[in-house]
Amino acid sequence: MKSAMTRTAVALAVLVGALGLAACGGGSSSTTGSNTGSETSETSGGGGETASNKGPIKIGAAIDETNLMKFFDGPALAAAEIEAEKINKEGGVDGRKIEFTVENTQLEPAKTKSVAENEVNGGAEIMWVTCDVDWATPSIQVGLKAGLLTVSPCIGTDQMGPKRFGSEGELAFSYGNVAQDEGAALAALFKKHGWKTVDIVPDQSIAFTQNVCESFKNRFEENGGKVVVEEKFTEGDGTIGSVANHVNSSPADAILICATTQNDLPTFVSGVRSAGNQTPIVGPWSIDGSFWLPKSPKISNNIWVTTYASIYGDDPNPEVRELISEMDKKGAEPATGGFVTGASAIDGIKAAVEENEGSTEGKALAESMVNFKDLPTISGEISFSPELHTVFGREYRVIEIKDGKPHYVEMVKAGTPAEL
């Protein structure tokens, strides 16, 4: 009897464990989906305020302050608040000060939804959401249902907009670079450095990493490049060691890895470099930051990253360096260059509100934003289109990690977004 009970308990353990493993392996997001807010409950709020209101512009932020996304959400918000303070000191936006209220979603879907509802009920005129479209979806749905302009600082896929959220998604925008643009910028970097053959290693666990590698491939081949090996993996699936060994036997000029800064990225880099392979390893913004780098300078070498800003004290834009210094003073030291998207989102909101003479009415702001063409912001010039509500056209900083030390090298630009 005891044995049978033990077996039952073990079976339960394995079941729960398997579910846990699935959750771990799934990482932060699924790769597809198209919800338009049918589960969102009714909330009060009226899609922003009209120009006659000269009170503060209330931005309700439903972001992660606890879990994986806090390293993206936190610095982006800190940068946004500093940019907002600067604007407020100069008299605000059409006479209106910018005011943030912030609540922690803890990356839990139910909490994300309730936090967003609190923000709407508390009078938020603009919804500010976390930097991953899947985690942010419950709050995006609440914002869109309430008719609010809904902004994420650094979502990097084309999902933030009508593609995922239907007609309601016309109010949704992200100030991150869209994967089609970053893929094209990476292809431009390869062209600039004369890397004509490549091994591509995309992580299939999130849409951004898949999309950026796919976009790169399309533009790289258009440019006459040749893909030697394409090895897909899913973060945490245990295959990254084999992937590194396959890549090691390839003669390509460079390796493109589209991954996130979880366990598999340093395992891959270590697997390649430890075998004596010093081929350039290149990656998008999602591998920016130095915290994940193996400490050995032999291993953390010849790695190239495209990103929004250099956090290593050598960004070419003095305004960005000043922003980093102010963030450091606030104890919000950025871990990646993505922080600057928060400040540029505030620049974008300011431009849209000014165009609408102080109104924060969601539809009006969205109509202004979708027409942004090369709008100057602290992070560079940005553009949106009816199809792409995530930024394209921005210049990228290229960071090289040499002997364990990251430093800014050059700028690169996509030209036009690649096909996906």
Asked if residue 263 binds another protein (CB under 8 A), the reply is yes
Q: Which is nearer to another protein, 109 or 122 (CB)?
A: 109
Cα separation, 236 vs 230, in Å, equals 18
Give the C-alpha separation, 389 to 302, whole Å: 34
- H or E segment and range at residue 188: helix 179-193
User: DSSP 3-state assignment of 19?
Assistant: helix
Tell me which of 37, 236, 280, 334 binds another protein, using CB under 8 A.
236
* 301 sits near another protein (criterion: CB under 8 A): no
Reduce the secondary structure of 354-397 to three states and give it as a string. HHCCCCCCHHHHHHHHHCCCCEEECCEEEECCCCCCEEECCCEE
7, 90, 118, 282, 406 from 271: Cα distances, Å: 39, 52, 47, 15, 20
Report if residue 204 touches another protein, rule: CB under 8 A: yes
For residue 57, the cross-strand partners are 98
**Do residues 110 and 137 make contact, with C-beta atoms less than 8 angstroms apart?**
no
The minimum distance between CB 33 and another protein, in angstroms, equals: 15
By beta-carbon proximity to another protein, the closer residue of 214 and 361 is 214
Pairing outcome for strands 303-307 and 396-402: antiparallel
Candidates 41-49, 239-247, 311-319, 379-387: pick the segment binding another protein (CB under 8 A). 239-247
| Only segment of 68-76, 90-98, 173-181, 368-376 that touches another protein (CB under 8 A) | 68-76
Residue 411 touching another protein (CB under 8 A) = no
Q: Could you say whether residue 71 binds another protein (CB under 8 A)?
A: yes
Q: Work out whether 8 is an interface residue with another protein (CB under 8 A).
A: yes
- Round to whole Å and give the CA distance between 392 and 406: 25
By the rule CB under 8 A, 6 interacts with another protein: yes
Q: How far is the CB of 420 from another protein (least distance, A)?
A: 16
- Residue whose structure tokens are 């943030």: 100
Q: Applying CB under 8 A, does 420 fall inside the site for another protein? A: no
Residue pair 216/179 in contact by the 8 Å Cβ criterion: no
Residues in the chain: 420
Does position 228 interact with another protein (CB under 8 A)? The reply is no
The SS3 call for residue 324 is helix
Supply 72's token pair: 């993206």
Q: Which of residues 13-32 bind another protein (CB under 8 A)?
A: 13-14, 16-18, 20-22, 24-25
Q: Is 231 in the site for another protein (CB under 8 A)?
A: yes
Residue 254 Cβ vs another protein, minimum distance, rounded to whole Å:
19
Please state whether beta strands 375-377 and 380-382 pair in parallel, antiparallel, or not at all (unpaired).
antiparallel
How many residues touch another protein under the rule CB under 8 A: the total is 59
In degrees, rounded to 5, the angle at the alpha carbon of residue 381 between the alpha carbons of residues 377 and 382 is 95
Q: Compute the distance between CA of residue 310 and CA of residue 321 in angstroms, rounded to an integer.
A: 8
3 binds another protein (CB under 8 A): yes
Minimum CB separation of residue 337 from another protein in Å reads 15
Segment near another protein (CB under 8 A), from 80-88, 122-130, 267-275, 344-352? 267-275
Cα 11 to Cα 5, 14, 368, distances in angstroms: 10, 5, 57
Minimum Å distance from CB 127 to another protein? 24
CB of 311 to another protein, least distance (A): 14
Q: Coil, strand, or helix at residue 412?
A: strand
Give, as one character, the DSSP assignment of residue 170. G
Q: Which of residues 325-354 bind another protein (CB under 8 A)?
A: 335
> Does the footprint of another protein cover residue 173 (CB under 8 A)?
no
- The answer to the question of residue 291 lying near another protein (CB under 8 A) is yes
238 binds another protein (CB under 8 A): yes
> Which one of residues 230, 354, 403, 410 is an interface residue with another protein (CB under 8 A)?
230
The nearer residue to another protein, 75 or 342, going by C-beta atoms, is 75
Crossing angle for the helix pair 240-248 and 264-274, to the nearest 10 degrees = 30
Give whichever of 220 and 233 is closer to another protein, judged by the CB atom: 233
Which of 33, 91, 95, 241 binds another protein (CB under 8 A)? It is 241
Quote the CA–CA distance of 23 and 26 in Å, as a whole number: 5
**What whole-number distance in Å separates Cα of residue 228 and Cα of residue 87?**
50
If binding is defined by CB under 8 A, does position 312 make contact with another protein?
A: no
**Under rule CB under 8 A, residue 216 binds another protein:** no
Interaction between residue 416 and another protein (CB under 8 A): no
CA within 13 Å, CB half, 357: 3
Site membership for another protein, residue 110 (CB under 8 A): no
- Return residues touching another protein (CB under 8 A): 2-3, 5-14, 16-18, 20-22, 24-25, 66-68, 70-71, 204, 230-234, 236-239, 241-242, 245, 248-249, 261-263, 265-267, 270-271, 274-276, 291-296, 299, 335
